[in-house]
Amino acid sequence: MRFALGILVVFSVAVREFLGQETIAVTTTIGEVIGKAEIVSSFEKTGKLHKFLGIPFAEPPVGDLRFKKPVPKLSLTTTLDAFAYNNACVQAYQFPNVSYAEDCLYLNIYAPERKNETDKLSVMIWIYGGGFHFGDSNMYLADYLSIHGDVIVVTFNYRVSVFGFLSTGDSASPGNYGLWDQQLAIKWVHDNIAAFGGDTEKVTIFGESAGSASVIYQGLYTGNKNLFQRILAESGSIMVWWASTDEGLRYAKTVGMVANCEMESTHALVLCLRNLPADILLNIISSIPESDDFASFPFRPTFDDDFITFDPKKVFYSNNFHSRDVVQFFSDFDFLTGVNILEGVEGLTPMFGVTDYINFAPNRTEFERKLVPLLIKEGYGEDAPTVLSKLISTEYTNWTDPNSLDNVRDEYLRMHGDFQFNADMYKTLDTHSDQSSTKNTYMYMLDIEPETRAAIEQVPWIKKAAHGEELPLVFGYRFSFGEHLLSPKDWEIKLSTKVMTLWANFAKTGNPNYPDDLGINWSQYTSDDQFYLHMTRNMTSENVRQRWNIGAANFWLDIVPSIAQMKTCETNYPGGINSAESPSPCVMFSLLSVCLYTALATLF
C-alpha cells in the first residue's frame, strides 16, 4: 500500500534475526525498512543502537530530474535492507573507498534502543559542509553522539556543485536544488521519525560551514513550519561571500560555452547540460581556469523567489523590510551558533593568493599589495575604493612588530576569520536575540590546540583549532574520510563527552545546560551582554565570558560597509575618494560616519 506524505499512518517495529545479526523492521511511508542492532560503547556510555543506513528519501535525481527539485520517494516494491551506506553525491574531489553517483539522495538513522516503547527521543538532523561543492553524510558516523546523548541522529546527502546549484536565474534552472534536497529530507524525517522512536516536537537541525549556512537558510524558509524547533549552526552564516551568488547565469553560460552547448535560450542551455554524462560535466567545470571569471566555488545558493525570497547578504539588517517575515520566522527557533579560534585557515587558498599554504610566510608588502586586495575583490568587487585596502591593512597589522613574517601571517588568518565567519556570526546572533522574546540564543568559541587532527596535521605552524575542527568533538571522533578513524588523547575524549552532552542538551530542551548539568552555567547571548562559552580543555562556569572579538566584528559590520559604499557615491557623484577632485558630499558623509564611529568606539 502506498502512503501519502503527511497522512497519519500506523507504524510497526519488529525485532528479527538475520544471519546471526539482530535486525529491526520499521514501517515507514515508503514501506518496510530493516535495520540492524549493535552494541555501541562510546567514551562513557554503552547501549544498543538501531542503525538504518541508505534509506532513499527521494527519487534518483537523474535524467529529466537533473537540475530540478527532488521528487519524494515512491513506495518501495519490496522490503528494504538498510544495512549499508549508499552513494555519496557526485562531486569533483572524491575520497577513496566511497561510492559516488548522481543517484545519491539517501539518509541514515542512528536510534538508541529505548527503555520503554512509549519513550520519545529528541532528534538531531545533520547537514554537512563543503562549500556547497563537496561533502557526504557517510563520513559522519553518529554512533557515539547518539548513544552518549541518547538522541536519534539523522544524516543525509544533498546535491552539491553544479548538480545542486546550477542557476540561470529564470525558470530554465532556478537553482537551489541542494537546499530543496535538504528540505525534503527534513520533511521525510518529520513524517517518519516517530516510527523510530523520535519526538517530532523536539527536532534540531545542525550543520557545519556550508551546512551551518544551510540550517540558517532552512530556518528562514517558511515552508519548514512545524518541521523542527531548534537550529545549531557551527562556523557559518549566510551573509558571507561563499554562502550565495548572484552570478549564476554567467557561470552557467561559461560551462555551456566550454561544453559547446546551444545557448540561444537558457532552456536550450540547460537541456544540453542535462544530457551530458556526469563525469564529463565535472571535468568541464574543473578545466575552466579561474582567470576566465569562473570562481573557485561558482555554484551556490541564489535568489530564486521561491526558497530564497530575500538578499542573503542583507537579510539580517533591520532596515531590510523585504525580509521581515522570514527573519521573524527564524527568530521562532532556539538558536545556538559559534566559531573556532582559527577560522581564517579558509583564506589559505589560491583564490586568495595562497598557492603553498604549508610554507606560507608573506611579508608586509605582499600582504598590503596582493593579499588584502584579493579579499576585497571577492567581498566587495574590483571597483571598491582604494582607501578600503588601506583601512583593512591598518586594522590587521600587529604594530608591536609589523614586519615580522609570523605576525603578518597571523594577521592574515585573523583577517580572514573575521571577514568570512566571525562578523556575520554576530549579526545573526544579534538579530535572533533581539527578535526572539521566548526563544533561546547561545554562542560559543572553540579555543584549543588539537593533538588529534583530521585534515591539517601536515601544517606545522597551525596550532589552534581551525575551521571544522569542532567536528571530531561533536561526533566523538567517529569521523572518517573514507579511511581510518581518529584516535584522540585522553583530554580530547573528555572534552568530546562535554561537547556531545551540550549539543544533546540543546536538542532536548533548547538549553545546553539541561538536563545533564556540567556545572558550566552557559548564559544566553543578548546583544547587550554578548555572553559566550569559551570552549577550552577544562571548562567551568569561568569559561562563560563576554564580547569576544567584538571590535573586529564591528569593524566589518559597520566601518567597512560605510567605506565600501563610496563606490556608489562615486558613481552617482563625481569627485570621489580616488579622484583628484574634492570628495563629493556623499563620500564626505561616509568618511564622517566612519570617523565618528571610530571615535565613539575608542571612548567606549
pLDDT at 5 over 50: no
pLDDT of 437: 82
105 and 245 assigned to the same domain = yes
- Give me the mean pLDDT over the 226-237 stretch: 97
Residue 3 in any domain: the answer is no
275 and 377 assigned to the same domain = no
Cα three-residue angle 242-243-248, rounded to 5 degrees: 85
427: nearest Cα among 266, 596, 550: 550
- Give me the mean pLDDT over the 231-249 stretch: 96
pLDDT at 572 over 60: no
309 and 344 assigned to the same domain = no
pLDDT of 481: 60
pLDDT tens column, 48-62? 999 999 999 999 999
pLDDT tens column, 182-210? 999 999 999 999 999 999 999 999 999 99
- Give me the mean pLDDT over the 77-94 stretch: 94
136 and 102 assigned to the same domain = yes
Which residues are known to be catalytic? 209
428 and 455 assigned to the same domain = yes
Grid coordinates in use for 424?
556575520
Query: Helix or strand or coil: residue 467?
Result: coil
Residue 5 in any domain: the answer is no
- Stretch among 218-232, 477-491, 570-584 having the lowest mean pLDDT: 570-584
Which residues share a beta bridge with 13?
26
Last residue within a domain, chosen from 277, 300, 332: 332
Grid coordinates in use for 283?
571535468
20 and 93 assigned to the same domain = yes
Residue 557 in any domain: the answer is no
Comparing 162 with 9, which gets the higher pLDDT?
A: 162
- Give me the mean pLDDT over the 588-592 stretch: 51
- Work out the percent of the chain whose per-residue pLDDT is above 70: 88
Provide the mean pLDDT of the chain. Answer: 89
Q: Which residue's entry shows cell 565567519?
A: 421
578 and 536 assigned to the same domain = no
Residue 560 in any domain: the answer is no
pLDDT tens column, 12-48? 344 455 556 899 999 999 999 999 999 999 998 999 9
DSSP code at position 367: I
Contact 135, 482 (CB under 8 A): no
- Give me the mean pLDDT over the 262-287 stretch: 93
215 and 362 assigned to the same domain = no
DSSP states along 381-395: -TT--HHHHHHHHHH
DSSP states along 214-253: HHHHHHH-GGGTTT-SEEEEES--SSSGGG--S-HHHHHH
pLDDT tens column, 369-394? 999 999 998 888 888 888 899 999 99
pLDDT of 323: 77
577 and 526 assigned to the same domain = no
Report the distance separating Cα 389 and Cα 367, nearest Å.
10
User: What CATH number corresponds to the domain at position 516?
Assistant: 3.40.50.1820
Which residues share a beta bridge with 581?
none
Structurally, the chain folds into a number of domains equal to 3
Grid coordinates in use for 61?
535525481
- Stretch among 240-249, 442-451, 478-487, 523-532 having the lowest mean pLDDT: 478-487
Query: How many alpha carbons fall within 13 Å on the CB side of residue 145?
Result: 31
Last residue within a domain, chosen from 332, 366, 399: 332
Last residue within a domain, chosen from 284, 316, 332: 332
Contact 108, 137 (CB under 8 A): yes
pLDDT of 459: 84
pLDDT of 374: 92
Sign, CA torsion 141/144/147/153: negative
414 and 468 assigned to the same domain = yes
Residue 559 in any domain: the answer is no
pLDDT of 290: 73
Dihedral, CA atoms, 217, 219, 222, 224, nearest 10 degrees? 110
115 and 254 assigned to the same domain = yes
pLDDT of 17: 53
Residue 8 in any domain: the answer is no
- Work out the percent of the chain whose per-residue pLDDT is above 90: 77
180 and 45 assigned to the same domain = yes
Residue 234 in any domain: the answer is yes
108: nearest Cα among 33, 40, 210: 33
pLDDT of 12: 37
Residue 224 in any domain: the answer is yes
For 583, the domain range is 565-603
